[in-house]
Structures are given as C-alpha cells and as structure tokens.
Amino acid sequence: MNDRSNPYQSPRPPTEQLPRGARDEPSKRTSGELFWISSAVIVVTFLLEVVLAAAGSGGSFVFVAAVGFFALVLSSSLGVARAARAADPGVSAGGRTPSRLDRWVLALGHLALMAVGVLVTLGGLVVGGRGRQLRRRGRVLLPPVAPGAAWAADRAPMAGLGAVPEGLADQWRENGRTEHASVAAFARLTLDLMALGAPPRLVTMAHDDGLDEIRHAEECFALARALDGRAASPAAFPAAQRVPRRSRSRRLALAELAAESLIDGALNEGGAARALAKLAERCESEPIRAVLKRLAADEGRHAAHGWDVVEWCLAEGGWVVEKALAGALRVLPAELRSTRPAPAASGAWERWGIPGHALELAEYRAARAHLVARLEGLLASRSAATRP
Ligand SMILES: [Fe+2]
Ligand SMILES: [Fe+2]
C-alpha cells in the first residue's frame, strides 16, 4: 500500500525522499566508526591485561579491566545494537545482498559480542577461581568478618584436630568468606534466571546450590573456630546489592550470563571440586576430611549446573551467546595465580585441607582442559546443526 492509497498514513519525512545510498550512509558510517573504536578498546585492553598479568600487578589489572569495560560499553552499545540488527537472519531475510559495509558491520558486531565473553573471563580470573562470586568493576565482593558465632556454630564434632600452625584458621575463614559471598551470587543467579524466563528446573538448581553455600560457609567458620577458638562470622554485607545490572537486551544478558556461568560454574567450581577431592585424600584429620568430602560433592554438582545454565543460554540466545562463549574460550589463561600466603601456597597445609599452589594449578588445568573440549564440541555441534 502506498501513500496515495492509504489516506490514514502520515506523510513521510523529508529524508525518505532522498536516494537510498544518501539515506543510509550517515547512520552506517557512524555504526562502523563505533565498532572500530570498540575493537581498538578491546585490543588495547587485552594487551594491557596480558602485560599486567605477566607482571603480577593485580591492582592495575583490575583497574585496566574496569576502564576498558566502561570504554567498550560507551563506544559499542549503539554499534552492537545496529550490528545485531544487521546480522540477525530475521532482519536480513528477503534476499537482499549485503553490501561490503554490511559485512564489515557484521564482522565487527561479532567482535564486540566476543568481547562480552572476553571481559567476563578476564574479570572472573582475577580472583583465582573460588566458585561463583559477585563482582563490581572487576573486583570480587566479599563480606567483612566480625566477632560472633552466628555462622560458626558447632555443626559436627571436631575432636582430634591436634596442634596446627598459626594462621591456618584464618585460611579457613577466608574460605568461609568466599562461600558466604557465593550465597549472594546464587541469589543473583536466581534473579537473572527469573528475569530471562528460565524453566523451574534451573531456578530450583540455583536455590538448592545457594542453600549448599550457606552450609559451606557455616562449616568453614565453624572449623576455623574449632582450630583457634575464636568465634567470628560474616558481618553485614551491603556490597552484595551493589552489583552491575545486566544488559537491557535479552540476548546480550543471556551472553553475559552464559560467559559468567562458564567461568564461575564450569571452570571455577569444577576446578574447586577436583582440588577438594584431592585434598580429602591428602588430609590427615578425620573431621576436616569429612568437611572436604561434602564440599567436593556439592561443588561438583554446582559445576554441572553451571553447564546447564550455559546450554540453556545457548538454546535461548543462539549465535549471540555462541560468539560470547567463543570469546571467553580464547582468553582462558593456562595459569592460575596463587592468592594464598607462603606457607599455604607451598602445600604444607594440605594435611589440614588448605591447597598448595601446585595442587590448585594442576586441578585448574584439568578443569580447563575439560571445559575447552566440551565447549568446542558444543559449539561445533551447534554450527553443524545450523549450517544450511
Ligand atoms: Fe561452596
Ligand atoms: Fe559452589
């Protein structure tokens, strides 16, 4: 129906009278320029992160990741939206042959989407792999610890611990802080899943895993108390509410959630489960071994649930999620930095359940190898299924 046959259609704006090329050029050029800027931000941020990681400069690493992320958001948010529209098969259907400019926009759009996975991965690995965590500007959010027995009540007999080195209890409290923060991280996961329309099976998993983390936190703080006699617990944790919001675009939010679940769930919880199982074999204290076995079984189940979230996001978000996961895959470091103090990092405290760096690194590498093989298989089977 044209203007003449439809008297209720409002008059076309003056730009509609322009020739097609002149009409499209300004907005496409803007989109292309935005993507070049985004790509430069990604490359510069990545190179700086590699240099800082090699130099072991943790504070600068986080700062550069945060600055790079915000620069990318500023420069690419408009461009990603335009590229996603241009690349969407639903938009391009109709037989129109894409111009060279369209193809550039499409390619750069893919790069920007991969950057979602890259940045989530770099942010996730700052911590050194302790399971699902909350982050703000690349920094892991952990609760403060204060005197009190609320999270350190005796849950199981701890007799027979014997003499232990000074500082061991504090390492178990550090474990307890990350477990406590994981409770909030699973609450966030539940909210994300609800917001994105996940099925009840995944929401139930998130709730169950969050309940596990409450028990883990209690067991860690109770064990620390049994070791040095000090009753201390996580204090108020208002930072748990100050996490960044997800993207307003559902598909980009799915991509963020998929990359996060890949790193925190499949990799970090998977690596933690493997390390805990090894520690249970090496532990010389029966009460601590019992705790380690329970933690290992739960973290292994959480890692499997992380994969369930990844696969659901892939099924829902399609190629957008694929690109984010492919980006995450490209920047998975082969190494894991140790965050333990010297006596623990040496492995001398493994008889009391605190992993040394060699053990953490070996299990991280094994979890990483498993992740790479499984994700590559997943992406390959999807691309084979969608190939015309
Ligand atoms: Fe845990
Ligand atoms: Fe966990």
Q: Using the mean position of ligand 2's atoms as its centre, give its distance from the Cα of residue 183 in Å.
A: 9
Nearest ligand, CA 270: 2
Evaluate whether 259 touches 310 at the Cβ level (below 8 Å).
no
Q: What is the CA(213)–ligand 2 centre distance, in A? A: 6
Which residue, chain included where needed, has tokens 């209890």? 169
- Residue 325 alpha carbon to ligand 1 centre in Å: 24
Q: In angstroms, rounded to a whole number, what is the distance separating the alpha carbons of residues 155 and 240? A: 26
Q: Which ligand is in closest contact with the Cα of 209?
A: 2
pLDDT confidence of residue 11: 47
Give me ligand 1 centre to Cα 220, in Å.
10
Spacing, Cα 209 to ligand 2 middle (Å): 7
Torsion of CA 287, 288, 290, 295, to 10 degrees: 150
Q: How far apart are CA 105 and CA 191, in angstroms?
A: 33
pLDDT of residue 40: 72
In the chain, where the domains are located:
19-123, 142-386
Measured in Å, residue 298 CA sits from the centre of ligand 2 at: 7
Helix (H, G, I), strand (E, B) or coil at 140: strand
Among all bound ligands, the one having the nearest atom to the CA of 215 is 1
So what's the pLDDT on residue 159?
67
Burial class (CB in 10 A: 0-12, 13-18, 19+), 178: buried
Exposure b/e, 256-291, CB count within 10 A at least 16 = b: bbbbbbbbbbbbbbbbbbbbbbbbbebbebebbbbb
Question: Tell me, what amino acid is at 292?
Answer: L
| pLDDT tens, residue by residue, 62-121 | 456 656 666 666 666 666 556 555 555 444 444 456 677 777 777 777 777 777 667 666
Burial 341-353 (b: 16+ CB within 10 A, else e): eebbbebebbebb
CA dihedral sign of residues 49, 53, 58, 59 = negative
Q: How many whole angstroms from 192 Cα to the centroid of ligand 1?
A: 20
User: What is the CATH T-level fold of the domain 142-386, as seen in this structure?
Assistant: Ferritin (1.20.1260)
Distance, CA 35 to ligand 2 centroid (Å)? 37
Distance 265 CA to ligand 2 centre (A): 8
Would you state the pLDDT for residue 114?
Answer: 75
Helices assigned H by DSSP within 242-356: 250-260, 270-282, 286-317, 319-330, 342-345
- Ligand 2 midpoint to CA 182 (Å): 7
Element spanning 139, H or E = strand 139-140
Ligand nearest to the CA of 299: 2
Q: What is the pLDDT of residue 16?
A: 42
Distance 300 CA to ligand 2 centre (A): 8
Quick one: which ligand is closest to 276's CA? 1
Ligand number nearest to the C-alpha of 180: 1
Predicted pLDDT at 147: 97
Map tokens 């003449």 to a residue. Answer: 4
Q: Consecutive sets of 10 residues in the chain, 388 residues long: mean pLDDT of each?
A: 48 44 47 68 66 50 59 63 54 55 74 70 54 86 96 75 87 96 97 98 98 97 93 96 92 95 94 96 92 96 98 95 92 82 92 94 95 95 78
Taken in order 150, 156, 162, 166, the sign of the CA dihedral is negative
Q: Give 357-360's long-range contacts (Cβ < 8 A, gap of 24+).
A: 359/275, 359/278, 359/279, 360/128, 360/129, 360/271, 360/275, 360/336
Quote the ligand 1 centre to 341 CA distance (angstroms).
21
Residue 140 CA to ligand 1 centre (angstroms): 15
Let me know how long the chain is: 388
What separation in Å is there between the alpha carbon of 300 and the centre of ligand 1?
Answer: 10
